[in-house]
Each structure stands twice: as C-alpha cells, then as structure tokens.
C-alpha cells in the first residue's frame, strides 16, 4: 500500500538537520533514487516511509500528508483564486462605469437636458451592489481563513 508523503516536510526536516539526500538514504537504508522520488512528491511504499521515519525518529504518519489539511488548503486556494477573479471583474465594471458616465455626460451636454440621468443612476446602483457583494465575499474569505487557522 502506497502512502502519499509530505515531500515539503521531509525535505525541510532533512535540510534543517544539514543532511544531504545521500546521507538520509544511508541512514534510512533506502536508495538515493527513493529519497529523490519522495522529495519530488511521488508516492512511497510503507516500508520506505517506515525507514525514513526511523531515520528522523518520528512516527510514520508524521511523514504522510494529512488529507483534511490538504483538502482545506486546496479549498482555500480556490477561494482566493475566485476572490481574485471577482476583484478583476469589479475593476472592469468600475472602468466601464467611469467611461459610461463620461459618455452619458457628453450626451446630456449635447442634448441640453439630463436625459441620461436615470440610466446613470441605475448603473451606479448596480456598481454599488457589485462593490457590496465584493466586500462581503472578501470579508467572508478573510474571516473563514482566520477561523480555520485558529486566529
């Protein structure tokens, strides 16, 4: 049965101890290629991880990825990506609104009266709603991240 090792943690622990990959392979009595594969994030056999755990003097499960925290990290990354897209769309909307207001003002000046006032007001209401939605989404993502990290 293969276990997904936490490659970053294994590499970090090795570097903190000042060990080379060759030294770790000797300590764990596994091949150098096995250490390289594990540090590249490939799956490892239980025997290989048991040998590494013995070399680091930790439990085998300390070397494995925690499925819950990995899933939470992935969900958080998707939320942040969605927030970035939402912000970009808002800035595009804001730029379009600014250009539209200039065009509406030019039409009003050319016509001599405020014919474009109602559409300008409703577009401004729509922009304000978009901004409010962005604010709420931003706060929700930020507070959820603080809640999950225990801050």
* Residue 150 in this model has a pLDDT that exceeds 70: no
In order of 20, 43, 51, the CA distances from 7 in angstroms are 15, 9, 15
* pLDDT (tens digit per residue) in 61-103: 888 776 677 778 888 899 999 999 999 999 999 999 999 999 9
Boundary residue ending a domain (18, 47, 62): 62
Residues 55 and 110 in one domain: no
Residues 71 and 136 in one domain: yes
Give me the percent of the chain exceeding a pLDDT of 90. 59
Q: Are 63 and 53 in contact (CB under 8 A)?
A: yes
Residues 129 and 142 in one domain: yes
Domain that holds residue 97: 67-149
How many other CB atoms are there within 10 angstroms of residue 111's CB atom?
10
Rounded Cα gap, residues 105 and 132, in angstroms: 25
Q: Are 99 and 45 in contact (CB under 8 A)?
A: no
* Residue 145 in this model has a pLDDT that exceeds 70: no
> What is the pairing mode between strands 44-45 and 2-3?
antiparallel
Q: Domain count of the chain? A: 2
Boundary residue ending a domain (46, 62, 78): 62
Boundary residue ending a domain (62, 82, 110): 62
The predicted model gives 30-46 an average pLDDT of: 89
Residues 57 and 122 in one domain: no
Q: Are 34 and 48 in contact (CB under 8 A)?
A: yes
In order of 57, 96, 127, 134, the CA distances from 121 in angstroms are 68, 14, 10, 20
């Amino acid at each position: 049965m293969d276990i997904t090792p936490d490659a970053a943690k294994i590499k970090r622990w090795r570097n903190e101890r000042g060990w080379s990959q060759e030294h770790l392979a000797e300590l764990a009595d596994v091949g150098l290629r096995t250490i390289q594969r594990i540090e590249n994030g490939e799956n490892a056999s239980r025997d290989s991880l048991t040998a590494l755990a013995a070399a680091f003097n930790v439990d085998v499960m300390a070397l494995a990825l925690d499925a819950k925290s990995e899933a939470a990290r992935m969900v958080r990354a998707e939320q942040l990506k969605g927030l970035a897209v939402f912000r970009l769309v808002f800035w595009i909307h804001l730029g379009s609104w600014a250009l539209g207001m200039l065009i509406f003002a030019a039409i009003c000046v050319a016509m001599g009266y405020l014919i474009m006032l109602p559409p300008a007001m409703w577009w401004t209401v729509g922009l304000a709603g978009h901004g409010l939605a962005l604010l709420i989404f931003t706060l929700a993502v930020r507070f959820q991240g603080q809640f999950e990290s225990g801050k």
